[in-house]
Amino acid sequence: MFIFLLLVTFALCAHAETILLRTGARVKGTIVFQNEEVVIVKDMQGARFQYPRTDVADILADDADLPEVQQTEVQADEEIKTTKKVSALLEISGGSAYVPGIGSGASMGVDLIVGSHHIGSRHLLIGGGLGYHGVFLKEQYNFLPVQVALRMPLTEKKHAPAFGVALGYGVALSKNYLGGLYTGLDFGYRCQVNKRTAIGAMFYAQFQQAKVNVTETVEDVDFVHKAGRNFITYGAKFTLYF
Q: Tens digits of per-residue pLDDT, 69-121?
A: 444 444 444 444 544 577 899 999 999 999 998 899 999 999 999 998 776 66
Residue 11 main-chain phi, psi, to 5 deg: -65, -40
The pLDDT of residue 95: 96
Residue 12 main-chain phi, psi, to 5 deg: -70, -40
Structural domains in the chain plus CATH codes: 2-61 (2.30.30.100), 86-241 (2.40.160)
The sign of the dihedral angle between the CA atoms of 154, 155, 156, 160 is negative
Q: Quick one: average pLDDT of 134-149?
A: 94
Give the CA radius of gyration of the chain: 28
State yes or no: pLDDT of 20 exceeds 90: no
Average pLDDT across the chain, whole number: 81
Q: What is the DSSP letter of 36?
A: S
Q: Quick one: average pLDDT of 3-32?
A: 64
Of residues 37 and 146, the one with the higher pLDDT is: 146
